[in-house]
Amino acid sequence: MKIQQRLRKHIKRLTLFTSTLLVSAGTPFVQGMTGSAFALTVPAKSADDFVESMCVNTHWDHENTPYKNNYDEVKQKLLQLGIRHVRDGGSSGNAIARMKDLASVGIKTTYIMNPNSGVAPNNSYWVSSPAYYINDFVKNKVGTNAIDAVEISNEIDLTYNNFYWHPGDTEKVNNNPSSPLYWIPYVRSLTKDTYSALKSDPVTVGTKIIGPSLGRTYSYGNKSPLGDLSTVVDWGNMHSYPFGGNPFNNPYSYATIAKYYWQGNFPSLNIDENPYIFDVYGQPFGSKPMVSTETGYSTTNLYRGISEKAHGQYMPRLFLEYFRKGIPRTCSYEFVNQWNNPNNAEANFGLLRNDLSAKPAYKALQNLISVLKEPGANFVPGVLDYSITVTPPAGYNRTKFVHSLLLQKSHGKFFLVIWHEISNGDISTTPTREINSPAMPTTITLNTPISTALTYTINDAGDMDLVGTTITDNKISLDVRETVKIIELTPQ
């Protein structure tokens, strides 16, 4: 019941699943008794709102990395990608200068507050090295044109004595800094003080407050150590890396994987069916929207790493899946490989290699953004009447894994993004066994009159092909694969 309640809380639209008919959030359908499909009118979302939800992690103060040594080139790569949000926590003069410079070209920062956890909680809304009160830092040192969101802390449970909290450890939680669980009252006070400081200042009142992230799940079904912070945040927070499997789904054999959800690594792994990431990390934040300030994949042959090819297939889907689930900001970890070390998983999370050459994921996202961006668009999206029917090949009967998202621009054109949300890897082996799934033959029936259709297809290299698309008897037929297709539909 808790999982069903969480789904109802986070998924705004009705979703109905059948064996032959695609059903996903954003595309609700009903199947008739005779097997024919009848579409409901589907409300679109703004295409540019999707682009606005995208974010990448940076590290401007990290020594001997491209972030610090090659800033001008990294900045150009950000601009060429088309991203509008970065996440960083530096407070040096160098970091401040970078945040201001990026703001001048339209890239805003989600700022990770980096407090000194040795101070008393009632003085805890500091940015350390040097020390600033957070409202002074945002307003005067950097500027609200540069920082549009403040994240309370980054995985403080891992950095403060590295002590694992259990529900029975309540007696250990106190305000004594020597307590191994001091971080719990500390981060609660930090959140409240930060919210008060920023929301009480008319200059910073519009800055989004993002709750603290935690590095551990603290057992599924148990209460969060953070208690209730829903009144002192704008957005909740989670670090929802999908490469570790979902242990809270019943395992079953599918797509050549013996225990599909346990041993898969697909983007929607922990946010769609049995979305434990919401249930575990969402508890302290009530009904507030959840954001993911860290998620992504490492491109290595090491434990649970993936190939650059799989990375390119996954990253567009990751952003699309998160937006489809109502997540207003998703920050890929990270933008650049910090070091040239293939045997270090931490060094290989970037969309760019260490020499700043583009991985397929960078090119795929660049192409996705180029089609969907519409800066400054301000309109109410309309609805489209259509249905999607999937005729699956043998062994791939879960047609609900064909996902879609309906977007629209202000000129009226619709953009139906569609993909097979299937696991491209089996993490039960090291290196991860790569899987190439068959195409899912799909028919889109258009009940809204459409004059022309174009299909953009992003391939395994991240490049994009554009072809005119035939509409026959109000139907479009296509093969849906693990890479993203965008169908541009112009209403009559």
Q: What is the pLDDT of residues 234-251, one digit of tens each?
A: 999 999 999 989 988 888
What's the confidence (pLDDT) of residue 167?
58
3-state SS, residue 80: helix
Q: Is the pLDDT of residue 171 over 90?
A: no
Helices 71-81/93-103 angle, 10° precision: 30
Q: Reduced to 3 states, what is the DSSP secondary structure of residue 151?
A: strand
Asked if the model's pLDDT at residue 406 lies above 80, the reply is yes
What average pLDDT does this structure show over 275-290?
93
**pLDDT, the chain, mean:** 87
Q: Report residue 469's pLDDT band, with 50, 70 and 90 as the boundaries.
A: very high
Q: Which residue did the predictor score with more confidence, 52 or 179? A: 52
Name residue, tokens 């047609």: 399
What is the rounded distance in angstroms from the CA atom of residue 217 to the CA atom of residue 155? Answer: 11
Cα–Cα distance for residue pair 117/157, rounded to 1 Å: 11
Give the pLDDT score at 224: 85
Q: Is the pLDDT of residue 163 over 80?
A: no
Residue-level pLDDT at 161: 57
| Highest mean pLDDT (candidates 91-105, 153-167, 215-229) | 91-105
Q: What is the pLDDT of residues 350-373, one digit of tens each?
A: 999 999 999 999 999 999 999 999
Encode pLDDT of 188-205 as tens digits.
988 998 999 999 999 999
Helix/strand/coil percent split, the chain, to 5:
30, 25, 50
In this prediction, residue 129 has a pLDDT band, given cuts at 50, 70 and 90, of low
- The residues spanned by each domain of the chain are 2-46+381-491, 51-372
Specify the pLDDT at position 162.
Answer: 55
**pLDDT value of position 42:** 94
Q: What is the pLDDT of residues 70-120, one digit of tens each?
A: 999 999 999 999 999 999 998 899 999 999 999 999 999 999 987 755 554
Would you say how long the chain is, in residues? 492
Determine the average pLDDT of the residues in 208-229.
87
Segment 138-151 shows an average pLDDT of 96
In terms of Cα–Cα distance, which of 447, 359, 443 is closest to 399? 443
313: enclosing H helix or E strand = helix 308-324
Residue with the larger pLDDT of the pair 21 and 111: 111
Given a cut of 70, whether residue 15 has pLDDT beyond it is no
* C-beta separation of 235 from 210 below 8 A: yes
Confidence label for 157 from pLDDT (cuts 50, 70 and 90): confident
Q: How many angstroms separate the CA atoms of 253 and 261, rounded?
A: 9
Are 457 and 420 in contact by the 8 Å Cβ rule? The answer is no
Whole-number Cα distances in Å, 107 to 37, 55, 79, 95, 361: 44, 10, 8, 14, 20
Dist CA 294 CA 186 (whole Å): 22
Q: Of 68-72, 245-249, 463-467, 476-480, where does mean pLDDT reach its minimum?
A: 245-249
pLDDT the model gives residue 8: 36
β-strand pairing of 85-88 with 54-57? parallel
Q: Binning pLDDT at 50, 70 and 90, where does residue 210 land?
A: very high
- Average the pLDDT over 391-401 and give the result: 95
pLDDT value at residue 156: 85
User: Which class is 51-372 in CATH?
Assistant: alpha beta
Q: Is 310 helix (H, G, I), strand (E, B) or coil?
A: helix
Say if residue 148's pLDDT is above 70: yes
CB 53 within 8 A of CB 77: no
CATH assignment, 2-46+381-491:
2.60.40.1180
CA–CA separation, 453 and 475 (whole Å):
11
Interatomic CA distance for residues 411 and 488, integer angstroms: 12
Average pLDDT for residues 247-261, to the nearest whole number?
A: 92
